[in-house]
Amino acid sequence: MTQRPLPLSDLVEQARHLPCAPWLLPKLLELLNDPAAAAEQIEALIKLDAGLATATLRLANSAYFGNATPCDTFSDAIVRLGFRELYRLVSTTMAGRWLNHAVSGYGWEPGDLYRHSLTVAVAADLIAQQTGRVQPELAYTGGLIHDVGKLALAFVRGDDFEAVRAHQAAQRCAWRAAEHHIFGYDHTDVAGELLQSWTFPTSLIEIVRFYPRPALADQEHRSLVTHIHAAKHLALCIGTGVGEDGFHTEIDESALREEGITPAILDGLLPEVLITATKLLEEEATRAP
C-alpha cells in the first residue's frame, strides 16, 4: 500500500466535492423511473438547472422529433419528449459535465472519459434492445456513469498514480489489483460508496461497484450489470477515449453466456455502436460554444 494511506470514507468525502457533482441527477432519475410521477414534478426539478432546461427545450424543438409547431414551454417539451427520452437527456447532460472535468491519473486527454463513457452508454443501450432483458434507458445511464470511481479516485489521489502504474507493470496484474495494492481499495469501491452518499438508485450503485466482475452483483441487478460489462468490452474494442487502464482488464465470458450475449451479437452491434456514438459526439461538438 501507499506510504500515505487515506481511508475510503475520507476519500469519498473529498470526492463529494467534485466540480459539477450531479446532486440533482438521482432525484430526476427516480422520478423519471416512477410511472406515477407527475410531469409537473419533473418540470420543477429541470427548472433548477439552467443548462438542463435549455437542453430539454432544444431537443424538443429539434428536427429529430419532426414537429413544425414550436415548443416553448417545459410542460410541452416533457410531453413531446416522453419520460424515456428525457431519461437519456438528463443522464447525458448532467453526467457529461461531470465526466468532462479534467483529472490526471489514467492517461486521459481532456474529454476522453466522457467520450469513452458515452460509447459504453450507446453500446449498453443497443445490447439491451437486442436482448430485451433490461431497460435500455437504464443501461444507457449505467454506461454513462460506470467509471465515476476512476474520476473520483484520480481527483483525490491523482499524484499517486505513478505508483499504481509501476506496480501494474511489475506484477502484470489487472489495473484494479494495482489500485487496491497502492490505495487499499479500487475505483469500484470508491464509486459504490460515492453513489450511495449521493443517494443514487441501487441498480446504478451495483453497476459502478461490480461492472468489472458481474458475477458478484446482487441477483436482482446482475443482468443489468452484465450488460454494462459487455458494453465496456465493446467500447474498449472501439478504443474511443480509453485510458491506459483499459489495456489491463478482463472479460467474464461465462456471465455473458448466461445473459445470452454472444460474440455474434457483440460483433454485429460494433459498427452501429461506433456510428451512433460518433454521431452523438459530433452533434455535441457543433453545439459547443
Query: Nine-digit cell at 184?
Result: 487499499
Model pLDDT, residue 283: 79
Q: Is the pLDDT of residue 9 over 70?
A: yes
Helix axes 74-99, 25-32, angle to 10 degrees: 130
What average pLDDT does the segment 215-240 reach?
A: 97
Entry pTM: 0.89
What average pLDDT does the segment 213-222 reach?
A: 98
Instruction: Tell me the domains of the chain and their CATH numbers.
Output: 8-287 (1.10.3210.10)
Alpha helices of 33-160 — where are they, by DSSP H? 39-46, 50-60, 74-99, 112-131, 136-145, 148-157
Model pLDDT, residue 201: 92
Give the CA distances from residue 32 to residues 27, 96, 244, 266, in Å, rounded to whole numbers and listed in that order.
Answer: 9, 18, 35, 29
Phi, psi angles (nearest 5°) of residue 41: -65, -45
Residue carrying the nine cell digits 438508485: 201
Query: Nine-digit cell at 121?
Result: 452508454
Model pLDDT, residue 248: 72
List the Cα angle 52/98/92 in 5-degree steps.
45
Model pLDDT, residue 147: 94
Give the whole-angstrom CA distance, residue 106 versus residue 49: 30
The band of 3, judged by pLDDT with boundaries at 50, 70 and 90, is: very low
Give the whole-angstrom CA distance, residue 125 versus residue 136: 5
Model pLDDT, residue 108: 86
What average pLDDT does the segment 127-147 reach?
A: 95
The band of 63, judged by pLDDT with boundaries at 50, 70 and 90, is: low
Average pLDDT, the chain: 90
Give the whole-angstrom CA distance, residue 222 versus residue 206: 8
State the Rg of the chain over Cα.
19
Which DSSP letter does residue 20 get? T
The band of 2, judged by pLDDT with boundaries at 50, 70 and 90, is: very low
Tell me the pLDDT tens digit for each residue of 244-267.
887 778 899 999 999 999 999 999
Tell me the pLDDT tens digit for each residue of 43-56.
999 998 888 998 89
CB 42 within 8 A of CB 49: no
Give the whole-angstrom CA distance, residue 152 versus residue 181: 17
Tell me the pLDDT tens digit for each residue of 68-115.
678 888 899 998 999 989 999 999 988 888 888 777 788 888 889 999
Buried/exposed 202-227: b ≥16 CB within 10 Å, e otherwise: ebbbbbbbbbbebeebeeebbbbbbb
Residue carrying the nine cell digits 457483440: 266
Model pLDDT, residue 4: 61
Range in 35-49, 64-78, 110-124, 225-239 with the lowest mean pLDDT: 64-78
> Among 87, 74, 94, 91, which residue's Cα sits nearest to residue 35?
87
